[in-house]
Structure 1
Amino acid sequence: MKMRYFETKKGRIELIPMIDVMFFLLVFFMILTLRMIPDHGLGLALPQASTAKVLPRPQILISLTANGKVHVQGHVVARAALTRLLSQRVGGRRADVTIAAAKNVPFQDFVAVMSAARKAGVASIGIAAHQR
């Protein structure tokens, strides 16, 4: 039997492991870039309630800040235009609206926003609170 000790083999580049590494890097950098996108939100100190429940994400979020500004989906809206804007967004369909008010917002401002939502035809209004 003849032994071949010095047989020359042709080199090959294995592509399958390289493709696996490339997909891993692609997913890694996609997740990394998603974490780099800043969340734009309002710094509200919500009231707390022991009976607060986690609800599905509302279709429309109205935020009331301590300085009296009203935000709809993160955009500042004048109180006079709130009813008109909400009726355009609702458009005759059933929409869920959640009102997130800071702790020190006057109750009258909160009631005025609820009234504007009712006039716009909103059937379901939720109140945002932190769970104790």
Structure 2
Amino acid sequence: MAYPPRRRARIEVVAMIDIIFFLLAFFMLATLETLPARGLDGQLPASATASRLDPADVVIVLARDGAISVAGAPLDHQRLTALLRDKGPRTQVTITGAGAASLTDLVAVMDACRAAGITAIALATREVGA
């Protein structure tokens, strides 16, 4: 009695490569550091002359009621100044938040930044009509 010739087992890697590239693309897109992806509260004010900037080192969120938070952690003005002083004077800061935030609160946040020696301060806005 003759047995059929033995065939070697093959592992099909084409499907695995497709899945790996899909996961790589998914995780790359999921970890992009952009302002809209951070889920910031509030409606940004509109500006017709705004320009795109490089991503900031620190994003300060100013709420409608004047509350300040950085990376989701609430801070007061003294702790904000201490945090920024630890980061160094070359830190780029973006202030974002509610369009209805008080100008007094905005100036207080900018004063805290300047007290820490920060000079690169930007205000986040949205495009007109967006």
TM over 0.5: yes
Per-residue deviation, residues 53-74 of structure 1 (Å, max 9, x unmatched): 1111001111101122101132
Aligned pair count?
Answer: 120
Can you give the 5+ residue segments of structure 2 that lack an aligned partner in the other structure?
32-36
Can you give the 5+ residue segments of structure 1 that lack an aligned partner in the other structure?
1-7
Report whether the alignment pairs 1:101 with 2:102. no
SS in 1 for 2:7: coil
The alignment's C-alpha RMSD in Å is 2.4
Compute the displacement of 1:94 (Å).
0.9
* TM-score calculated relative to the size of structure 1: 0.76
Compute the displacement of 1:30 (Å).
4.9
The aligned residue for residue 48 of structure 1 is 46
* TM-score calculated relative to the size of structure 2: 0.77
What is the aligned-residue identity percentage?
29
Report whether the alignment pairs 1:119 with 2:122. no
Per-residue deviation, residues 30-50 of structure 1 (Å, max 9, x unmatched): 55567789x653222100001
Counterpart Cα distance in 2 of 1:69 and 1:9: 76
The aligned residue for residue 4 of structure 1 is none
Go from structure 1 to structure 2 and tell me whether the alpha carbon gap of 1:36 and 1:51 turns closer, same or farther (over 3 Å shift). Answer: closer
Of 60, 65, 68, the residue aligned with 1:67 is 65
Rg (Cα) greater in structure: 1
The aligned residue for residue 3 of structure 1 is none
The aligned residue for residue 26 of structure 1 is 20
